[in-house]
């Protein structure tokens, strides 16, 4: 048996130190108050122990003391809350330029895909010094993606994407655990995050056999499933064009405005009639059961790719549903206009 008695996991991400500092503060606080109570108790049971000549003094209470020992814990709690909330906000919001990796969890393994198409099973190679955003989904039950060395964790759900992010700061191999009980081999659903220097990571990427980048595989699926039949940039197309769509606001037929993110794209493929783009008919069939989770991820990558390519302004109105920044209504305009306008017709009836 190894005789190691570690107290902290290694600090391998940019936030690990911050989380540990916060944790240490809480440990000190807990130790202080526990010792305070414990020592007071010991002191009282000795000093005020029962003796024949000694009578207890009947004290009702002290409102002042009650207020003090309510206010102080409340104040300390608020400090803890704010510190924790700030840290949490940082942990939940990946930077915009993060390296995007997709992961699929299933009983009882992890499958990862790098943007260049490289796949891994139960291992995840990442470079140091760059934020990495991992978008995850499950093929069956709820799992959880947990890397103690990075101090990050997220549940992995079967019906929508979740994401987490981290910036690795130290090379090494770190544990990846599934930490939401998922059945028989839950304790076996573990893996390794391999953090490498950026040069080594590039080399590793190049050496792997990728069948093409995720985006190119997504493009193949896009054509195979016949998406191009309707989703074209020309004016008579039956479906909205997807150029420049990803990450932009979209106006729906009920006048709501939503952001076209991963979950929106996934829902549009699996449950197309939940949200209809303004000016289009609800004719898209569902691909539930037809396309796999990996396929969905690849198609999403392809659609993201379309946005990056299409850097020209939208003045040619090839995609009227995607709003220019100036067209995104302010909150006040939204509230005023709500319920007053019918769905905008645009002569696109089949």
198 in contact with other proteins (CB under 8 A): no
Shortest distance, position 123 Cβ to other proteins, whole Å: 15
Q: Minimal CA–CA distance to 136: which of 116, 159, 119, 117? A: 159
Shortest distance, position 244 Cβ to other proteins, whole Å: 26
28 in contact with other proteins (CB under 8 A): no
Phi then psi dihedrals of residue 244, to 5 deg: 65, 20
Candidates 21-29, 212-220, 295-303, 328-336; binding stretch for other proteins (CB under 8 A): 21-29
Residue 83 or 204: the one with the smaller Cβ distance to other proteins is 83
84 in Cβ contact with 78 (< 8 Å): no
Candidates 29-37, 194-202, 214-222, 309-317; binding stretch for other proteins (CB under 8 A): 29-37
| Angle between helical axes of 293-309 and 262-270 (0-180°, round to 10) | 120
Shortest distance, position 281 Cβ to other proteins, whole Å: 7
Total residues contacting other proteins (rule CB under 8 A)?
A: 99
Q: Minimal CA–CA distance to 231: which of 220, 242, 219? A: 242
Q: How many CB atoms sit inside 10 A of residue 328's CB? A: 13
**Alpha carbons 199 and 206: distance in angstroms, whole number:** 11
108 upstream amide cis, omega within 30 of 0 = yes
Q: How many CB atoms sit inside 10 A of residue 108's CB? A: 18
Work out which of 102, 110, 112, 146 binds other proteins, going by CB under 8 A: 146
62 in contact with other proteins (CB under 8 A): yes
Phi then psi dihedrals of residue 138, to 5 deg: -110, 150
Q: Minimal CA–CA distance to 306: which of 233, 225, 255? A: 233
Residue 195 or 217: the one with the smaller Cβ distance to other proteins is 195
102 in Cβ contact with 139 (< 8 Å): no
149 in contact with other proteins (CB under 8 A): yes
Shortest distance, position 157 Cβ to other proteins, whole Å: 6
Residues 6+ apart with CB under 8 A from 97: 131
325 in contact with other proteins (CB under 8 A): no
Residue 58 or 326: the one with the smaller Cβ distance to other proteins is 58
Per-residue x/- mask for other proteins, residues 153 to 192, rule CB under 8 A?
A: xxx-xxxx-x------------x-xxxxxxxxxxxx-x--
Segment 206 to 225, residues that bind other proteins, using CB under 8 A:
none
Per-residue x/- mask for other proteins, residues 265 to 304, rule CB under 8 A?
A: ------xxxx------xxxxxx-x----------------
29 in contact with other proteins (CB under 8 A): yes
């Amino acid at each position: 048996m190894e005789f190691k008695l570690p107290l902290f996991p290694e600090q391998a991400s940019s936030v690990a130190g911050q989380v540990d500092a916060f944790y240490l503060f809480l440990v000190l606080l807990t130790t202080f108050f526990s010792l305070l109570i414990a020592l007071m108790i010991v002191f009282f049971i000795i000093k005020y122990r029962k003796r024949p000549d000694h009578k207890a003094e009947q004290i009702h209470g002290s409102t002042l003391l009650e207020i003090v020992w309510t206010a102080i814990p409340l104040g300390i709690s608020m400090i803890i809350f704010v510190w924790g909330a700030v840290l949490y906000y940082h942990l939940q919001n990946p930077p915009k330029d993060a390296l995007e990796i997709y992961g699929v969890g299933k009983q009882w393994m992890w499958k990862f895909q790098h943007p260049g198409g490289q796949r891994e099973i139960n291992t995840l190679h990442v470079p140091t010094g760059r934020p990495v955003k991992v978008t995850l989904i499950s093929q069956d039950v709820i799992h959880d993606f947990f890397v103690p060395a990075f101090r990050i964790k997220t549940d992995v759900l079967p019906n929508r994407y979740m994401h987490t992010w981290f910036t690795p700061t130290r090379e090494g191999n770190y544990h990846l655990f599934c930490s939401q009980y998922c059945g028989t081999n839950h304790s076996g659903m573990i893996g390794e995050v391999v953090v490498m220097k950026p040069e080594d990571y590039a080399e590793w990427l190049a050496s792997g056999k990728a069948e093409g980048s995720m985006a190119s595989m997504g493009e193949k699926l896009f054509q195979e499933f016949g998406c191009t039949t309707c989703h074209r940039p020309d004016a008579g197309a039956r479906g909205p064009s997807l150029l420049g769509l990803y990450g932009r606001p979209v106006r729906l037929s009920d006048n709501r405005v939503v952001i076209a993110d991963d979950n929106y794209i996934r829902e549009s493929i699996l449950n197309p009639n939940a949200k209809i783009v303004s000016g289009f008919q609800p004719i898209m069939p569902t691909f539930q059961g037809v396309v796999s989770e990996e396929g969905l991820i690849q198609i999403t990558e392809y659609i993201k790719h379309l946005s990056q390519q299409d850097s020209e302004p939208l003045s040619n109105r090839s995609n009227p549903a995607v709003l220019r920044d100036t067209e995104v209504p302010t909150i006040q305009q939204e509230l005023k206009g709500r319920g007053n306008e019918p769905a905008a017709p645009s002569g696109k009836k089949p």
